[in-house]
Amino acid sequence: MSSSLGNKLKVLFSPFVKPESIHGLAAAVVNGEEAACVCLGHASPSSNILLSPSHYFEIASITKTVVGILFSKMVLERKITLNSECSHFLPQLHGRIIGSVTIAELLTHSSGIPRLPSNLKPQNPMNPYLGYSYDDLMQELLQLEIGDKKYLYSNLGFSLLGKVVEIIYKDKISDVLRNEVLVPLGISGVNFSTDPQTVVLTDVHSHSMQNVEPWLLGEFEAAGGMRATIEQMKVYLDANVWPEKTLLKDAILDSHKFLYFDGENKVGMAWHNGTKSGNVFHDGGTYGSSSFIEFNPSTKKGIVILSNTYSDFKDLIPAIDSCLDY
């Protein structure tokens, strides 16, 4: 770990960690062969507990990029093709428009599937996916009307990808992601929202700073259920910056390549690509957490930020750019 890099991270991000904005923030940077992590603020302000590297965050939609690497690996292993249609795995969808949607369209959010199911009626407004069952999901897919096949970010689409994975591996999506992607990358101990709560999860807060609940994703685990520490996410960032050093080199590299481009949105296997910068990125958020990862495979620079307070991170853009432009 680089002490000078760590000091720079503290200088750049400390101003944004304060009671009226972000309670706790963790950041990790990779700059070539150098790397550093910092933890700033509180994990639990009410108990005055400082944030530490052992605290887990909701990773939210960055989970989708792990799913993307999994599908890239599956393609290389000939378990699936990007042109495979959903009905091949879920025969009950045969003859319906949803059944003809391909894996590539789901991964790139270009299937026309809406962001959320129409029958999502939260039992608890602070935990919107809680109680949504497999039967609810199938009912939605069987009656789903799909719009134009253009970019439309879809959690529902990734829930469907999760079901495809579970059918192929005959195992739950969280364990497949662990066994096939995370552990081979040297990342152990990652938690998912449907796992038994055995990790120390930081408190989460809404933008108005009221305590909210960690989300239980259930059937939407593939869309955003991962929970990890900043040190685990540093290893994940490092793997994407330096895929040639990992056991999943080809799968990671292929996951970064864009499959869909409409002149504005450039998307690979879940990863989004900066059309001008060449950077690869994804963000995530729940009602009480925010996450962001961005890196450049050519310059070997990258950053991941985790917050236990919902934020769009717009105020952090100059600090993020500074980390990517050393």
> Which tokens go with 104?
């590539």
d(CA 103, CA 49): 44
Packed helices 317-324 and 3-13: angle between N→C axes, nearest 10 degrees: 160
Average pLDDT over the chain, rounded to an integer: 94
Which residues share a beta bridge with 41? 24
- Residues 23 and 203 sit within 8 Å (Cβ to Cβ): yes
Residue in the structure block whose two tokens are 């963790």: 26
Closest listed residue to residue 229, CA positions, set 57, 15, 36: 57
CA distances from 293 to 63, 141, 219, 240 (A): 11, 31, 24, 10
Q: What is the pTM of this model?
A: 0.96
Provide the pLDDT for residue 276.
65
More confident residue, 210 or 26: 26
What are the residue boundaries of the structural domains of the chain, listed by start?
Answer: 3-324
- Structure confidence by residue, pLDDT tens digits, 101-130: 999 999 999 999 999 999 999 988 899 999
CA-based end-to-end distance of the chain: 16
What whole-number percentage of the chain has pLDDT above 90? 83
Q: Domain 3-324 is classified in which CATH homologous superfamily? A: DD-peptidase/beta-lactamase superfamily (3.40.710.10)
Asked if residue 28 has pLDDT above 70, the reply is yes
- Structure confidence by residue, pLDDT tens digits, 68-83: 999 999 999 999 999 9
d(CA 166, CA 181): 15
- Structure confidence by residue, pLDDT tens digits, 268-299: 999 999 866 889 999 999 999 999 999 998 99
Provide the pLDDT for residue 207.
66
What whole-number percentage of the chain has pLDDT above 70? 97
